Amino acid sequence: MRHKRRSRRLGRRTGHRMSMFKNLATSFIIHKRITTTLTRAKEVQRIIDHLINLAKRGDLAAKRQVFKFIKSREAATDLFDVIAPQYRETPDQAERMGGYTRIIKIGPRHGDASPMVFLELA
């Protein structure tokens, strides 16, 4: 049973797992779409929604929290200047606290039949 477990381990130790999530989030922000496995996409989706919420706030504390997770200056400026303003335009989107990404299933991977998905902005 997984009572009170917040995330999946994905067969990696904490440092490696966090590094993988940071790399996936950075690639997503730069390219606006990534191809990955379903379980990785579900975990990274939570992180990306949180980063977009911080970028929507746009204050100094939010920028520091984003830079703590995303080390690429290009990705961070893209998040604050391109992605976040899309979700601040209308009052309906400004109050939205999640659901910025969608997962599209594309079938099993050829080698090990892992379910592969596209993760993209909604």
Q: What is the CATH number of the domain that holds 112?
A: 3.90.1030.10
Q: Is residue 53 part of a domain?
A: yes
CB 51 within 8 Å of CB 100: no
Q: Is residue 88 part of a domain?
A: yes
Q: Is residue 5 part of a domain?
A: no
- Whose tokens are 């892992």? That residue is 114
Q: Is residue 54 part of a domain?
A: yes
Q: Is residue 1 part of a domain?
A: no
CB 21 within 8 Å of CB 43: yes
Number of structural domains in the chain: 1
Range of the domain at 67: 14-121
From the centroid of its chain, how far is CA 88?
A: 18
User: What's the average model confidence in pLDDT over 91-115?
Assistant: 91
Helical (H) or strand (E) element with 30: helix 14-31
Q: Is residue 6 part of a domain?
A: no
Q: Is residue 8 part of a domain?
A: no
Reported confidence tier of residue 108, pLDDT bands at 50, 70, 90: very high
Q: Evaluate if pTM is beyond 0.95.
A: no
Burial of 53 (0-12, 13-18, 19+ CB in 10 A): middle
CB 72 within 8 Å of CB 20: no
Q: Is residue 76 part of a domain?
A: yes
What would the pLDDT profile of 22-42 be if each residue is shown by its tens digit?
Answer: 999 999 999 999 999 999 999
Q: Say what the pLDDT of residue 122 is.
A: 86
Instruction: Give Dmax over CA atoms of the chain in angstroms.
Output: 46
